[in-house]
Amino acid sequence: MSQVANRREQAEYLGANGTKIFIHPGSGQFKARPAWIVSAEQVETTKVYARNVARVEPAWIEQAGAHLVKRQHYEPHWERRASRAAMYERVTLFGLLLSSGRSVPYEQIDPKAARELFIKHALVLMEYDSRAPFLRAQPEAAQGHRSTCSRRGAASICSATRASCTRSSTRECREGISTGAAFERWRREAEGKNPKILWLTEQDISPGEAELDAEQFPDHLSAGPLVIQLRYRFEPGHEDDGVSALIPLHVLNQLPEEAFEWLVPGLLDEKIEALVRSLPKNLRVHFVPVPDAVARALPLLERGVGSLYAQLADALLRTGGVPVPRDAFREDLLPPHLRMNFVLLDDADKVIARSRSLAALRGKHAGASQQHYAKQSQLTTGAQHLGVRRFAGEAGRASGSARADSVTRRWSTRATAWACACSRRRPKRASATNAAARGSSGS
């Protein structure tokens, strides 16, 4: 097995442990130069020449050297079409890469972790194709639970409900089941005894009061000087599944995107792991296993400050020694509940549009937002001028010019702060108004 080699450049081959090998000119394979070869002998003169060469396939080498090859497994993931959890496999022999990226069943490597992944994706997130009656009943139970939670005002409904569903599904699903085929065999047998054994009730999916953490799942988000209301929904497949930010039309162009990259604290760790998994393969291979790489990077993040992608790229560089471009993270590959859902509202709180991309929403509605913003500015400016004239008159009637100046300056400061809280442009208008007020006071 140590006589195999893989072609790298033109006539050069790479052999076991990094040896550079060339096919001997007298060999029948000298002109053919196959991708993989095995030789009967290797002779070193000015170069290392392989003699008595034959073409081989990597699969043959892997089968013949099964006791010598090294297998590395990485990136556990859910395969909906196969209805099972899987991992990618990399196979090497004496430093030669025989195969990479092959999908292998996760239950053959870690049955317990494969079962957890099956329950999460197939039974909780419903990423599972089946005619089972309980899958049609679960969204109805979730809908009833959402109505109850909307009356309670539970901010953490999305994540807490997922956790509660996971516990209920784990309790009912028999131990050892980690694939769709095994689940269907068990389900038909179990439903014969109890037809509703897998049906979730509102009590099953309701999180306890202790799980409703307002810090992890707040009802608002600060985006610069603005405060944006958040809404939560647990319904996999629905367009509003996850966290929604309710955006008034007139502030659409004023929102910084960085604030929404951090999502909410309760879902941030899961999002960061998904972002690392979204990296291109040539970068992702440096951060396996992904959970361990994420665990090393998390303490280096200053949460809620600046851009998540910039901080994460820097943290991965410091912990893994590999530079990661900020735009290498593919947010579009993330599950919907790990991407902020932007809901654009008019003055009557009616939905104008929704999107998982703030940039896309701006691209379609930036003009309407600017017009609406201008109208709001005119109303604010008119009210401000009216107040300046009224308070300037009071200042003129006050005894002594010093007292008049003090009254005018005090009101102008309040007016400027009030206008600044509404938008970023209004302080300039307020400054101009203050100048007019001072001129009026001096006269």
- Quick one: pLDDT at residue 141? 53
For the record, the structure tokens of 120 come out as: 């999460």
- Quick one: pLDDT at residue 347? 87
- Quick one: pLDDT at residue 429? 36
- Quick one: pLDDT at residue 138? 62
Span 256-269, mean pLDDT? 94
In this structure, the number of other CB atoms found within 10 A of the CB of residue 265 comes to: 14
DSSP annotation string for 133-165:
HHHHHHHHHHHHHHHHHHHHT-TTHHHHHHHHH
Burial class of residue 184 (count of CB atoms within 10 Å of its CB; 0-12, 13-18, 19+)? middle
- At 355, the amino acid letter reads S
Q: Which of 44-58, 200-214, 277-291, 425-439 has the lowest mean pLDDT?
A: 425-439
Is the pLDDT confidence value at 89 over 60? yes
- Quick one: pLDDT at residue 78? 92
Cα 203 from chain centroid (whole Å) = 29
Is the pLDDT confidence value at 83 over 90? yes
- Quick one: pLDDT at residue 236? 75
DSSP state of 18: G
Residue 47 φ then ψ, to 5°: -135, 175
Most confident of 204-213, 226-235, 372-381: 226-235
- Quick one: pLDDT at residue 169? 57
- Quick one: pLDDT at residue 354? 94
Instruction: Using the Cα atoms of residue 371, residue 342, residue 232 and residue 340 in order, give the sign of their dihedral.
Output: negative
- Quick one: pLDDT at residue 380? 63
Q: Give 345-394 pLDDT, tens digit per residue.
A: 998 999 999 999 999 999 999 999 888 888 777 766 655 554 544 444 44
3-class DSSP assignment, residue 232: strand
Read off the pLDDT band of 251 (50, 70, 90): very high
